[in-house]
C-alpha cells in the first residue's frame, strides 16, 4: 500500500477527530444558554387538555354568527411587557371565563366538564404562584375584553368567548412559565 493512499485515508479521520470536540463544545454551550421553561400548572402542559380546548373552540366557532367572525374579544399581547404581568392578566381573564362564561354557556361538548376542572386547577395554581387576579380587574385589556363581550348580544357573546378560549389558553401556556437557566 502506498503512503499517499494511507495519508488520503487518514486525513478525513484526523479532521473528524479534531472537529468533533469543537462541535460538541459548541452544542454544549448552546444547550446551556437556552433557558428551560416549565409551566406553573400541569394542565397547561397536558396534550389532552390542549386538544380538548382546540375542539371546544372550533365547536363554538362553528356556532357563532357570521357578523361576529371579524371581532376579537381577547386583546393581543404586547410581548415586551413583563411575562408575569401578562400571565396574571390572563389569569384574571380566566377567572372571568370560569365565573361568567363557561358557567353560563349552554354549549354541549363532551369534554366540557374535564375542561372546567382543568381550568379551575390552572387558576388555583396561578394564584399559588403569586397571581393576584383582582389586581388586574381594571387593567385596560381586561376592561376591553369585558366591554366587547357586553356589547355582543347575550348568547352570541358567550359563544364568541368560548370560541376564543384557545387564544386564552395559548397565552396562559406561553406566559405562565418558570424559566430556569
Q: 54 vs 27, which has greater pLDDT?
A: 54
CA–CA dist 113, 115 (Å, integer): 5
Question: pLDDT confidence of 96, banded at 50, 70, 90?
Answer: very high
11-46, pLDDT tens digit by residue? Answer: 555 444 454 444 445 444 444 444 456 788 999 999
Work out the average pLDDT over 53-63.
Answer: 93
Question: pLDDT confidence of 79, banded at 50, 70, 90?
Answer: confident
Residue 172: CB atoms within 10 Å: 26
Report the pLDDT value the prediction gives residue 136, as an integer from 0 to 100.
87
Q: What share of the chain is helix, strand, coil (3-state, %, to 5)?
A: 70, 5, 25
CA–CA dist 2, 52 (Å, integer): 68
* Structure-block grid coordinates of residue 142: 381586561
Work out the average pLDDT over 45-51.
Answer: 94
Q: What is the largest CA-CA distance in the chain?
A: 89
Question: How would you class 155 by CB atoms within 10 Å of its CB: exposed for 0-12, middle for 13-18, buried for 19 or more?
Answer: middle
Amino acid at each position: 500500500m502506498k503512503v499517499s493512499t494511507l495519508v488520503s485515508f487518514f486525513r478525513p479521520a484526523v479532521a473528524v477527530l479534531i472537529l468533533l470536540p469543537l462541535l460538541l463544545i459548541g452544542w454544549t454551550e448552546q444547550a446551556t444558554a437556552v433557558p428551560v421553561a416549565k409551566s406553573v400548572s400541569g394542565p397547561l402542559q397536558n396534550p389532552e387538555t390542549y386538544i380538548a380546548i382546540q375542539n371546544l373552540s372550533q365547536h363554538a366557532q362553528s356556532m357563532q354568527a357570521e357578523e361576529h367572525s371579524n371581532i376579537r374579544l381577547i386583546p393581543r399581547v404586547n410581548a415586551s411587557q413583563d411575562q408575569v404581568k401578562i400571565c396574571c392578566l390572563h389569569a384574571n381573564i380566566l377567572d372571568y371565563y370560569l365565573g361568567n362564561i363557561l358557567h353560563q354557556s349552554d354549549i354541549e361538548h363532551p369534554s366540557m366538564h374535564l375542561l372546567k376542572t382543568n381550568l379551575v386547577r390552572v387558576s388555583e395554581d396561578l394564584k399559588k404562584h403569586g397571581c393576584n387576579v383582582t389586581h388586574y380587574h381594571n387593567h385596560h385589556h381586561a376592561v376591553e375584553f369585558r366591554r366587547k363581550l357586553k356589547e355582543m348580544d347575550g348568547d352570541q357573546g358567550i359563544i364568541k368567548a368560548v370560541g376564543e378560549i384557545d387564544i386564552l389558553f395559548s397565552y396562559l401556556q406561553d406566559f405562565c412559565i418558570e424559566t430556569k437557566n
